[in-house]
A and B are shown apart, each in its own frame.
Chain A
Amino acid sequence: MVLTLLFEALSSIFMGEALAATVPLQGTDVAGSWDQLYFFLVWLSVFFFVLVVGGMLYFAVKYRKSVAPRTKYITDNHLIEAVWTVIPAILLMVIFGWGYNVYVKMTQAPADAYEVRVIGKQWLWQFQYDDGRTTIGELYVPVNKPVKLVMTSEDVIHSFFIPNFRVKQDVVPQMYTSVWFHATIPGKHQVFCTEYCGGSHSQMAAKVIVLDDQQWLSWKMGRKIDLTTLPTQGVGDDALAAAVERETEAKKASAVGKPGSVQLTGLAQEGKSLMQAKGCIACHSFDGAKMTGPTLKGVFDHDVELADGSKVKADENYLRESIENPNAKVVKGFSPVMPMFKGLISETEMNAVIAYIKTLKE
C-alpha cells in the first residue's frame, strides 16, 4: 500500500522514542498495524491543525485593525469551497477504509485459535481452560499462537481491555462476545475493565501471562509458574504499584505514629500475593479503609456484626465460609455482592490467605 510506504518514510523522520512512548508497548502484530494508522492520524491532525490555527493566527496578525484598516468585500468562492469539501471527504474515506481494514484483522480470529473462556463479575476476571482448570486474575496463554477468548458476564456489563494488544470488547450478561490476539512478547500484560461496573470498577484488573514454549509446556502439565520471574511488559509494573502502596502505608503510619509494615512469613506473603492476584484487593483493604467490602484489618478473632444484627466470631471457619460462600453471613452495612469462591480456591491457597489475614492486626 502506497500510504503505508509513505507512512514508513515519514515515521522514520518524525517518530522518535518520545512519540512511541505515547502509546502502549506493541504486544501483537495487530498493535503494530494500529500504531501505523494512529500515527498517520496524529500527523494528519498536526497538518490540519497548523493549517487552520496557523492560518487563523497569520490572518489575525496580518489583517489586524492597526495595519489593515480597509477590508475587502468577499462573500464566497465556489472553487475553494468545493476544494475544502471534496478533499477532506476523500481523505475521510481513505481513513475509513484503512480503519476498517485493521478492524477486520483485529476481530477475525483464525480457526485454529486456542480458546479460553472468560467470565467477568463484580469485580474480578475468571478464566476457564480446556482441561477444566480455572484461574482468577491471571490469564495463561502461549506466545506466538492465536488465542481466542469467549466471554460472558455474571452480572452487569464489563469490558475486557488489553492495552498492549490494542483490543477491547464488552462482556455482556447472557450473551457471548469474543476477542482474539496473537501475543508476540512473553511476560505479564495488563488487563483493565473498561465498562463502568460499580464500586470497585477501577480495581477490576488482571494480567495476561504470555508464556514462552517451555513455560507453556510446563503450565500444560499442571505445574505452577513462578510469576516473579516473568517481566512486566509495558504498564502495570508490580514493583511500582508496590512502591506506591508502601508510600501510602508509610504516610498513614507516620500520621498515626505507628511503625511500618511487619515482616511476613513465607506462607503469609504467599497469601498476600494470592489476594492481589485473585482480585480480593479490589474490594477489601488491608489498612482499615472502608471500600466496597469490609476491611480485613483486625478482623481475625474479633466479633463481626452481621446484617441481621447477630454477631459472629471471625475465626478460621468464618473466614473460610465467607470466602467460599460470602452471602451466607454478610457483614452489617455491606451489600451481598461478592462472588462465590467455592471451587475456585484450593486448600493450600485458603491456608495462605487466612495466614495473611491473621497478620493484619489492629
Chain B
Amino acid sequence: MSSHAHAVPGSNYLNNETGLWSWLKTLDHKRIGVMYLFTILFFFFVGGLFALAIRLELFTPGQTIMDAATYNKVFTYHGAIMVFLVIIPSIPAALGNFVLPMMLGAKDVAFPRLNLMSYYIYILGAVVALSSLFLNGVDTGWTFYTPYSIRASSGTIMVVLGAFIAGFSSILTGLNFIVTTHKLRAPGLSWSRLPLFCWALYATSIIQVLATPVLAITLLLLIAERVLKIGIFDPALGGDAVLFQHFFWFYSHPAVYIMILPGLGVISELIPVFSRKPIFGYRAIAYSSFGIALIAFIVWGHHLFVSGQSEMANFIFSLLTMFVAVPTGIKVFSWVATLYRGSIRFNVPMLYALGFLELFTIGGLTGVFLATLAIDVHLTDTYFVIAHFHYVMVGGTLMAMTGGIHYWFPKMTGRMYSEKSALWAFILILIGFNVTFFPQFIVGAQGMPRRYWYYLPEYTTLNQISTVGSWFLLAGFVWVAIYLWQAIKSGEKAPNNPWEALTLEWQSPSPPPLENFEETPTVTSWPYEYRPEPSKA
C-alpha cells in the first residue's frame, strides 16, 4: 500500500505511476475499473464479430458463408462471450469499480487486493473458456442444456469451467461493493442520500453473492457428470434432464437482473442531471431495485413453461413473473415524470438515456407477452425471445453502459469528446438496433425458431432487414470507438464537473488524484438537489 500513501500533489491516477507493470499490479479501483472497461470492450468486439457472422449467415435461408456445424459454434460463442464476459461484468466491474467509491466519497473499495484478484479471476475464466476453441469448439448454446452438453465435444468442459471461474470474480466484486457501501460512505452520506446508481449496484451485488454460487455448483455437477459418469442430469445414467434447467435458471434468471439493474442505476443518474431536476420518486426507485432483486429469485420457472414441468408450477411461475413488471414500470414512469417541468439538455449521455427508454420499454412490454402462459407456449424458443432479450440486454444494458461511458468519460480521462460526432454515432446505433431486432419479433411470432442455421424461405425478407440493421450497428460502434480514441489522444481538457452534477465524483479533479479526493468530502444534502435557478451554462 506504499503507493497509496504518497500521492504527489498535482498528479492524477493516470500519471502518478506509469508503465504496464504499474497497471498490472495496481490496487487503485479507478485503474482496475479502466482495465475492466478495456477488457470488456475487447470481448464486446469479439462477441460482436460472432454476431455479425450470425446475421450474415442468415442473409439467405440455406448456406451463405458457413456450414451448420460452424454456425452452431458461432452462436454458442456469441452468447457465452456476451453473457459471461461482457454483460454480466459490464457496468458493475467497469463503471461501478471506477464510480462507486467516488460516489461514496471513499478512497478506494473496501478490499483493493480482492478487487485486483477479481480482475485476474475474470481473465483466467475468459482464457479457460476460450481455450475450448482449440478443442473442437463448443456447439451447445450458452445455456449448456443437458443431456446434449454431456455428449457434446470435450471443449464444452472448458467453457463450463471458464464460466465457473468467472463466477467467482462476480461474487468477489459483489462482496467488495456491499462492504464498501456499508463501511466507506463519506460523513453525512446517509442511506437516504445514497445516489441511485449506488443503490442499484448494491441490489445487484446481493444477487451476485447469493445466486452465483448456484451456477458454480450446477456447472461443477455438469463437469462431474461428464468426467466421472455420475448420473445427475443425463437420463441415460439415471439422471433428470430437466433438473439442469431448474438449476441453471435458478442462477441465470437472477443473472438477468445482474445484467440490467446497474443499467437502470445509470439511467437514474443521467436523467436528473440533464433535466436539472430532482429524480422523481427517489425512494420508489431505490426500493424497486430491491423489489426486482427479490422477485428475481422466484421466477426461474418461466423459462420452463414447455419443458414438461407441472401445470401447477407453470401457474405459479407465470403469476409471480407478472410482478416483475410492477417495480420495472415504477422506474420507467418515474424517469418520464422527472422530465416534466425540467430544463432538458440534450448532451450525449442524455440521448443514450432517452434511447434507452425507448428500447427498454419495448423490451419490458414484450416481457409481459412471454410471462403470459399461453402466449409463451407459441413464442418460446423462437426469434421473439431473441428480440425480447436483445431489447433488454443490448437496448437496455448496453445503451445504459454506452451512455454511462459518455457521462463519466471526462472524469476518467480528463478529456472531452466531440459531441457532434457522438450524435451521429448515436443515431446510427439507435436506428441500427431497431432495424436489426424489431423484425425478429415478427419473424418469431410467425414461428421461426431460434438457433436455426436453415430457415424456411418465407422468413427471408425479415431476416435480410435484420442483417442490414446489424451493419448500421457495426458502423455506429466503430464510430464511437474512433472518436473516443481521438478524444483520449487529443480531446479538449475536461473541466472537473462538465455536466454540473451533484454526486461526489464530480467534486474531484478530472482525472481524479490517486485517492480520489484532496480531502474527504462531507455530504450535506441528497444528490438530486437541483433547485430551480436559471441555468448558468
Contact = CB atoms under 8 A, between A and B. Distances in A.
B457 A241 contact: yes
A48 B532 contact: no
Contact of A92 (B281, B325, B535): B325
Contacts of B139: 198-199
B277 A235 contact: no
Interface string B414-453: 0000000000000000000000000000100111011111
Contacts of A344: none
Contact of B373 (A38, A55, A103): A103
B127 interface: no
Interface stretch (A128-136, A255-263, A289-297): A289-297
A172 B242 contact: yes
Contact of B277 (A37, A74, A85, A100): A74
Given A102-B374, A106-B374, A95 B368 contact: yes
Contacts of B454: 202-203
Interface string A59-97: 110011100111111111100110011001100110110
Nearest to A105: B374
A48 B325 CA distance: 13
Contacts of A72: 277, 341, 532
B204 interface: no
Contacts of B278: 73-75
B261 interface: no
Contact of B62 (A92, A198, A248): A248
Contacts of A243: 457
A173 B381 contact: no
B236 A173 contact: yes
Interface string B228-246: 0000000110000110000
A22 interface: yes
Interface stretch (A141-149, A154-162, A222-230, A351-359): A154-162
A24 interface: yes
B3 to A, nearest CB: 42
Contacts of A37: 372, 374-375
B276 interface: yes
B280 interface: yes
B266 interface: no
B314 interface: yes
Given A68-B341, A240-B458, A99 B372 contact: yes
B8 interface: no
B530 A71 contact: yes
Nearest to B308: A177
A244 B457 contact: yes
Interface in B345-372: 345-346, 354, 357-358, 361-362, 365-366, 368-369, 371-372
A202 B358 contact: no
Interface string A137-179: 0000000000000000001110101010011111011110100
Given A56-B354, A199-B72, 20 more contacts: A24-B447, A34-B375, A38-B369, A52-B333, A52-B336, A60-B344, A72-B277, A75-B282, A76-B280, A85-B326, A103-B314, A157-B241, A166-B378, A168-B378, A173-B236, A174-B235, A198-B72, A237-B456, A289-B63, A292-B68
Q: List 6 tightest A-B contacts by C-beta distance, closest first.
A: A163-B447, A99-B372, A102-B374, A174-B235, A59-B339, A202-B452
16 contacts: A23-B445, A53-B361, A70-B533, A72-B532, A74-B277, A77-B280, A84-B330, A96-B373, A102-B373, A157-B147, A194-B382, A196-B148, A202-B453, A202-B454, A240-B456, A248-B62
